[in-house]
Amino acid sequence: MSLSLGMRRTRVAAPVRVLSVLLALLALVIVPAPAHGSNGSTSTCALQGTTGYTNEGQRTDYARFQNPVGTKRVGVIYVDFPDATGTSLPLTPYYNQISGAADWMWKASNGKTWLDLRAPHGNWVRMPKNSTDYNWARGFSWDTHRIYVKDALTGAADAGVNIADYDMFYIVPTSTAAAISHTPTWVQDPANPTWVWNKATNAWVAIKWAVTFGQDMWYWGYKVADHETGHTFGLPDLYAFSGDQHQYVGGWDVMGKVSGAAPQFLGWHAWKFGWITDSQVSCLSTAGTYSTPLNGVEYGGSGYKLAVIKSSTTTAYVAESRKAANNDSNACATGVLIYKVDTSATTGNGPIRVVNNPDAAAPTGNCTTLDTQTWKPGQTFQDDTARIRIYVNSSDAYNDTVWTYKW
């Protein structure tokens, strides 16, 4: 259900009470480059990235990454190897394992993005090398990964697939190829194009984006495809590359813990993607006070989705309303989620960090402590160094109202 109350942001006085956040086997293989392109935001709270890589900035390099809005034509290619043959036909179980990614992305975007998955060759494409010869190690190079992508798509083109029909590819290995273990994403380098000869059109085709699945797809399921497709849209990893794997956001975003209880993309990501507009962001970039009614990020509509307080040229605090609905139907907690964005932080090093609530409910079942860090009416978060405060004023089934302060 989508509910937009059309309420207006207002200035308010300060409240009296003040209170002072299984190993993920996913990766992105990419070469850094200068960023350009934008979701069109002119908000003073629209931070820009500084890493030359995937980051949380509003400006995305759409010469390299995929624009997140619209229909994305995804060619599903199944591959096997001389040392790991695929013997199970039809390939329906493989397709079913990832096809749910389309509906999940549609819900996440509130109808802004559709993954049009098609399997144009219902048989195995034989790779020219053994699975063990592709050096499928974590952190392998972009060029090593490109060899795998080119071999797969050259084989598909030779088998009659018109690879020019697709924006990106999901390359799925046979379950017997244990060496192809984890699931990384391959993203083009425009300065060094990757060409594959397309027999269907007698022409070269530039390959731009591919998710190369590993055996972990049988554990993670279709949401691993949504996570990896997020990388093609320019998003960094939100899980930690060292220490506690889920110390930054827990299960609050699919870019963190794929199997998290509330994996809906954070509202900040929806804004970066252009799924929500500047008019849905309450921006406080100079000293002042606002009251903002926030509609749950799980819903559509034109109401406010984010309350943002800019704290520097690369940092901001964000408050958003989270509800147990749609992609978050199994959420461990509801209420206001507060997190800090740092567009200078690199992927895997906490570019987004959920703020701990000392009065949050204790976790139960499979929930972790970080999964319950929502804020309730009457509770306040304050950062004296950043000179910001966020107070939760009220809450109902679809909305939360917050007061934001900057001094």
- Please state, in angstroms and rounded to a whole number, the distance separating the CA atoms of residues 51 and 345: 7
- Please state, in angstroms and rounded to a whole number, the distance separating the CA atoms of residues 48 and 51: 10
Task: Read off the pLDDT of residues 237-293 as tens digits, 9 standing for 90 and up.
Answer: 999 999 999 999 999 999 999 999 999 999 999 999 999 999 999 999 999 999 999
Which residues of the chain fall below pLDDT 50?
1-8, 11-26, 29-36
Task: Read off the pLDDT of residues 190-217 as tens digits, 9 standing for 90 and up.
Answer: 999 999 999 999 999 999 999 999 999 9
pLDDT at position 10: 54
Which pTM was predicted? 0.91
pLDDT at position 27: 52
The answer to whether the beta carbons of residues 332 and 371 sit under 8 Å apart is yes
The answer to whether the beta carbons of residues 213 and 77 sit under 8 Å apart is no
DSSP string, 155-182: HHHHTT--GGG-SEEEEEE-TT-TTS-S
